[in-house]
Chains A and B, each alone.
Chain A
Amino acid sequence: MNKRQMVKSLLWLLIGFGATSGFLRLVHGLGATTGLSDATPWGFWIGFDVMAGVALAAGGFTMAAVVYVFGLEQFRPIVRPAVLTAFLGYVIVAIGLMMDLGLPWNIWHPMVFWQYRSVLFEVGTCVTLYLTVLALEVAPIVLEHPLFSHPIFHKAYKILKHLSLPLVILGIMLSTLHQSSLGSLFLIMPFRVHELWYTSNIYILYFISAAGLGCAMVIFESTLTSLIYDHKPRQELMQKLGKIASVILGVYLVFRIGDLLVKGKLGVAFNGTGTSTLFIVEILISTIIPSIFFNWKKINGNTKGLFWTAAMVVFGFIMNRQNIFLTMSKKGPAYFPWVSELMISLALVAGATMVFIFFVEHFDLFGDGAPDNKKEIGEKLITGPFFGADRSFVKGVAIFTAPVIAGVGLALMLLPSSAIKGYQYPNTPVKDAVGWDTLSIDGNRALESVLFPHAQHQQMMGVSRDSCMTCHHMSRPKDGPTSCSECHQDMYLATSIFSHGYHQTLMGGNKSCDSCHVNTKAKAEVLSCNTAECHKLLPSDTTSYLADSYVDAMHKKCKDCHEEQAKQADGFIAMGEQAKADSVKALGYCTACHPGLPPESKVRLSVTR
């Protein structure tokens, strides 16, 4: 296996993993497959796929501007890869967003229901339009391929070539809007976003940083491709681009710090908290250090130095877009992205890289459609490498199926169980009541116990089988009065307590099926548990038994009886026994069991839970 095959196998592995996670996400929903919750409605997908994806795609419009508008012809060889990266970046954004949307099949709604006052509407519109523009900008690269030699294609190609300048300018306009509007998204959350990141000028910061990051991204990705394909990196060009980037980053730095200064918030950046450290690290690696390195002979003079500086900027701004989420104030549990979220994002990047590689190998990505290149490409096509295998199509499939399968397998191994089985409600296991004559009932040990006078109830109701069964309505086989928590196992959720295996063994294996499953043809049809004369006390419609949540069970059992008692108050009053009347009346109040409630809660609980 050579270098390229290794890279491709790894990418296929990631795609296999991500595709599995993505499939499960669509089948089981967001709660089962992500760490998102009401406390963190937006997570890694928005922070990375959307925010960072768009920022990383900024190379497309910056390079287009540099070459087409500012006429710096020497950069022309990098335009095509940059535009392609931008296109793929936006495809990632679109698919990532589809994963994140709760109802992805409604994604076309914004085109119909216009909401010009929503920033998100602006973002959505710009993404759609810009994606179209980018597709039109990429199309000529594809149309140059000998496959599309039909005159129709040729005509389309010519038209697109003619339109390239207006398209480029339209693309720049749309990018400006929507790089900045991604920042504007946060304007409506002044209370959540940390003050070091929140500013009413956030959209300007997002735009400038996108332009700087765009240049860095171009350096990063062209160096990387030249490494994989053993091209000679275009050292001088990259060096110049680095200098352009450092200017833009400088402007960004001035704006960012200046804004904090004007607001008087700069002190917060140095107050030594974790957040301020995060801010300082972010500023250092995203702007300050790179702008020095891009101008430092020792570093910008060699490919490695440039590459790592560019990588630093890329990482720095991914961090910048993530930090705004990380430092957001929240109410509720902390959020950390699940493997499934990370893997879907990684797989999207892997997929995009794969398409990029495909373009490198099959199209004239680094030239400008010169006719000699065309011939060479044609020859490449005839040998027909499939998405990367340097051999035939079939062999390509054969080689790369293995990593995909490995990816799927890994996914099934590493994903949390809810992602595979479906949403699981959070459990709150119940602990048994403690005590004897007086039981302290506090199922989830929240230190709000109800003191239940067990002995007093026994005395009142007499100790007999029937009276015990008022509360101990079911017992485990061969057990005395079983305690409530044996079946009502969760504080808030119903528990299924039917054990099929137990019944099977007890009744003698397979030959006894028909004692419950009346109609043996339709196995699922089950006789109700009490008509079979086995469990006379169960409700008649019971087939598989669900025990109520602990809270429900307790409330039902106690409340019904207490309310019954409280009704006798009127009778006692009529008999002139005021004291007795008061005491039974008190049974009907919440405070009878929950003494922690204020004395005035003299209200009967009936509907409530």
Chain B
Amino acid sequence: MIGILTDVTKCIGCHKCVGACVDANKLDKHIPAPQHTSDGLAANRWTSIIKQPDSHYVRKQCRHCLEPACVSACIVGALKKTKSGPVVYDKKKCIGCRYCMMACPYGVPKYEWDTPVPYVRKCTMCYERVSVGKQPACTEACPTGATVFGDRDKLIAEAKLRITKNPEKYINRVFGEVEVGGTSVLYLSDIPLGFLGWKDDLGKEALPKLTWSALSKVPTEFLGMGAAMTGAFWIIGRRNKMRAMKVKEEAEKKAVENETGDAGTEEKGEDSNE
């Protein structure tokens, strides 16, 4: 499992990674106007530098969650978590519902609002580069080693080592180790990084679990409702039948109606079994 480790204390805000990403992925060079993107990310900027007080620079990019909310949300499986780690996008499948954008706890996927044939765009951890053994363009371009590429477990070990060596320099936490079920892109920092996501503390639980707790009940709900309705129909139908028996005059008429009704019950029974 591969990953990226960004050490905020080492970043000098030179934007080299941003430029490298733009070049490597052939993104449009228009600079996204700040009023459109509060975090600097846009359909044509897959990574950005967010300026923080006291000369802090934090690079934002897709976190490549281990259990990505975007992937679980996607209606057609256009977003996929690959075995090696990157979360990639297949534009041929996408229908443009933008549920992934709503689901991502970091607000990473962005949309091409300016065209009539728009796609979702986000960092792919340079999937094409890494699958041929190269490293991502951004980590390669970084002049200070603030953002490095490697095996996720080794990066976590490295991060912890840096913390033990310089405990007063860092917040004692590898950001992304356990957040929302763990992410492939990790951070070390001396300032809180809550602004990258929706909330300071996103919790340890993977978001797809929240949905699954409801979704797993669906078959029960479906068949249960079918059974309940069939049952109700049968009981009520029977009660009406009994009542009808008492009324002499209409007895014949009603008996016929109820027979057809009974036939319906059987058919419907099969239905709910399906």
Contacts and interface: CB of A to CB of B under 8 A. Distances in A.
Given A29-B115, A191-B197, A601-B13, A101 B23 contact: no
Given A29-B118, A332-B36, A603-B16, A109 B93 contact: yes
Interface in B206-245: 207-208, 210-215, 218, 221-223, 225-226, 229-230, 232-233, 236-237, 240
A134 B29 CA distance: 49
A27 to B, nearest CB: 6
B33 A38 contact: no
A491 B30 CA distance: 10
B76 A115 contact: yes
B55 A598 contact: yes
Contact of A329 (B14, B16, B95, B198): B198
A600 interface: yes
A117 B13 contact: no
B113 A29 contact: yes
A170 B102 contact: no
A122 B218 contact: yes
Interface string A86-108: 00000000000000111110110
Nearest to B216: A117
Interface string A116-141: 11111110100000000000000000
Interface stretch (B123-131, B160-168, B265-273): B265-273
A169 B218 CA distance: 17
B233 A165 contact: yes
B77 A115 contact: yes
Contacts, number: 254
B53 interface: no
A120 B208 contact: no
Contacts of A166: 264, 267-268, 271
Given A118-B75, A423-B113, A42 B33 contact: no
A331 B229 contact: no
A227 interface: no
Interface stretch (A175-183, A293-301, A463-471, A528-536): A175-183
Contacts of A189: 102-103
B94 interface: yes
A31 interface: yes
Nearest to A186: B102
B263 to A, nearest CB: 8
B210 A39 contact: no
Given A29-B114, A165-B268, A181 B93 contact: no
Interface residues of A, number: 83
Contacts of B69: 188
Contact of A188 (B30, B42, B73): B73
Interface string B22-57: 010000011111111111011000000000000100
Interface string B73-88: 1111100000000000
B73 A120 contact: yes
B91 to A, nearest CB: 9
A30 interface: yes
Nearest to B217: A203
A3 interface: no
Contacts of A120: 73-75, 97, 99
Given A191-B202, A608-B16, A113 B76 contact: yes
Contacts of A163: 267
Given A101-B96, A603-B12, A607-B23, A121 B75 contact: yes
List 8 tightest A-B contacts by C-beta distance, closest first.
A102-B96, A31-B113, A191-B198, A608-B19, A165-B264, A29-B116, A607-B19, A598-B55
Given A106-B95, A176-B221, 19 more contacts: A29-B118, A38-B36, A38-B41, A106-B93, A106-B94, A107-B95, A121-B76, A165-B267, A166-B271, A173-B225, A176-B225, A177-B222, A184-B215, A191-B198, A333-B35, A492-B32, A551-B31, A607-B23, A609-B15
